[in-house]
Amino acid sequence: MPSLEEQLVALKSQAPADFTAATDPDSLEAVRVKYLGRQGSLPDLMKQLGSALPADRARLGKLANEAKIAVQSAFEQRKDDLENANAGADAARFDTTLPGRMRPVGRLHPLTQTMERVVAIFQRIGFTIAEGPEIEDEWHCFDALNTPGDHPARDLQDTLYLKDGRLLRTQTSTVQIRVMETHKPPIRIIAPGRVFRRDEVDATHSACFHQIEGLYVAEGVSVADLKGTMEFFFRELLGPETKTRFRPHFFPYTEPSFEIDFSATSLGLKGRKWLEIAGCGMVDPNVFKAVGYDPEKFTGFAFGMGVERIAMILHGIDDIRLFYENDVRFLHQF
């Protein structure tokens, strides 16, 4: 029977070779049990250490310790190697020729797209974006816009009022007032935004929709500037063949006022030659007075149009409700 010393030396050299020979988790586990298990050779030799002669104890103890470290590190090393090899095999099994998993790409809502298109055209000719609050007061939505207290637009039937007397703005014309109250001419702004009306919802009406307002104030601005700007805009938006027509109309905040119709052969207008698209006019002197501008010195034009209406015309959409249902089958077409 070999001495304890011989056994320890043998263990120290044999164990690493045995661990290296293990090629899968099961055989590795078998080798681990053989050396490190409760009945394994290492604990067994450790036990024998207790009955060694006192004179040999220190030398044998040191040797036993070295054997233990050798066995344990051989095991850890082999375990790591096998795990890494496994990961490598997984990667090798990954089939790079399989089709990838589609991640649907999002896009801007058609109303946002339309708004950005309109705004970009005006930015090219020097207009800057202005914004105002959706919750407004009567001053900015009506009074300052020369809209008298008995005007039907102010009716409870048409405007959504809050309990405190404020209201949800019914038009983006409010932004004109806010900008003029805080800035001096010259002013050239384009104001896209959400507006609210107490409307029955149907194919062409929504209680919440979007408008784009424009305002240009300086010295010597004329109706010719208004017409030139609008004609340029609609040709840019709807194509170079587009014709525009100005019909006299009434808005409280402009004088004279017009409705703009357009005609474009490129768009299917359902047999109609002219389609109404925007309101506009020369800013009423009373509006200038309300914001503290001198109407003798400054003139200007303003205009407003509905974003939904433009998007519907551009894309041939016949029901406004489609914009708000967020059905991706509809939305992914734009």
174 interacts with ligand DAH by CB under 6 A: no
- Of these, 142, 251, 293, 323, which contacts ligand DAH (CB under 6 A)? 251
Q: Which two tokens stand for residue 236?
A: 């840019």
Q: Taking the complex as a whole, how short is the minimal distance between the CB of residue 173 and ligand DAH, in angstroms?
A: 4
Give the amino acid at 201. Answer: V
Name which of 111, 179, 247, 176 is nearest 119 in CA terms. Answer: 111
Q: How far apart are CA 303 and CA 232, in angstroms?
A: 14
Q: Taking the complex as a whole, how short is the minimal distance between the CB of residue 144 and ligand DAH, in angstroms?
A: 13
> In terms of C-beta density within 10 A (0-12 exposed, 13-18 middle, 19 or more buried), how is residue 221 classed?
buried
* Three-state secondary structure of 236-252: HHHCCCCEEEEEEEEEC
146 interacts with ligand DAH by CB under 6 A: no
Compute φ and ψ for 279, nearest 5 degrees: -115, 150
300 interacts with ligand DAH by CB under 6 A: no
The 3-state DSSP class for residue 255 equals: strand
Give all strands (DSSP E) within 85-219, no chain letters: 128-129, 135-136, 167-168, 187-196, 208-218
Task: Give every CB contact of residue 50 below 8 A, 6+ residues apart in sequence.
Answer: none
- Of these, 242, 254, 308, 323, which contacts ligand DAH (CB under 6 A)? 254
Q: Stretches 31-39, 110-118, 265-273, 302-310: which one binds ligand DAH (CB under 6 A)? A: 302-310
159 interacts with ligand DAH by CB under 6 A: no
Q: Taking the complex as a whole, how short is the minimal distance between the CB of residue 238 and ligand DAH, in angstroms?
A: 19
- Of these, 7, 303, 311, 312, which contacts ligand DAH (CB under 6 A)? 303
Q: Stretches 25-33, 85-93, 114-122, 298-306: which one binds ligand DAH (CB under 6 A)? A: 298-306
For ligand DAH, the closer CB: 31 or 280: 280
CB 236 within 8 A of CB 251: no
For ligand DAH, the closer CB: 70 or 280: 280
For ligand DAH, the closer CB: 173 or 244: 173
185 interacts with ligand DAH by CB under 6 A: no
279 interacts with ligand DAH by CB under 6 A: yes
Give the amino acid at 119. Answer: V
281 interacts with ligand DAH by CB under 6 A: yes
Q: How far apart are CA 227 and CA 231, in angstroms?
A: 6
Task: Give every CB contact of residue 261 below 8 A, 6+ residues apart in sequence.
Answer: 244, 245, 247, 274, 275, 276, 277
Q: DSSP letter at 269?
A: -
Q: What track of x and - describes contact with ligand DAH for positions 27 through 66 (by CB under 6 A)?
A: ----------------------------------------
Q: Taking the complex as a whole, how short is the minimal distance between the CB of residue 210 and ligand DAH, in angstroms?
A: 11
The torsion defined by the Cα of 167, 173, 174 and 178, in degrees rounded to 10, comes to 170
Q: How many residues bind ligand DAH (CB under 6 A)?
A: 11
Q: Taking the complex as a whole, how short is the minimal distance between the CB of residue 328 and ligand DAH, in angstroms?
A: 31
213 interacts with ligand DAH by CB under 6 A: yes
- Of these, 110, 185, 192, 304, which contacts ligand DAH (CB under 6 A)? 304
179 interacts with ligand DAH by CB under 6 A: no
DSSP 147-169: --TT-GGGSTTTS-B-TTS-EE-
244 interacts with ligand DAH by CB under 6 A: no
Q: Stretches 16-24, 87-95, 277-285, 321-329: which one binds ligand DAH (CB under 6 A)? A: 277-285
In the complex, which residues of this chain contact ligand DAH (CB under 6 A)?
171, 173, 213, 251, 254, 279-281, 302-304
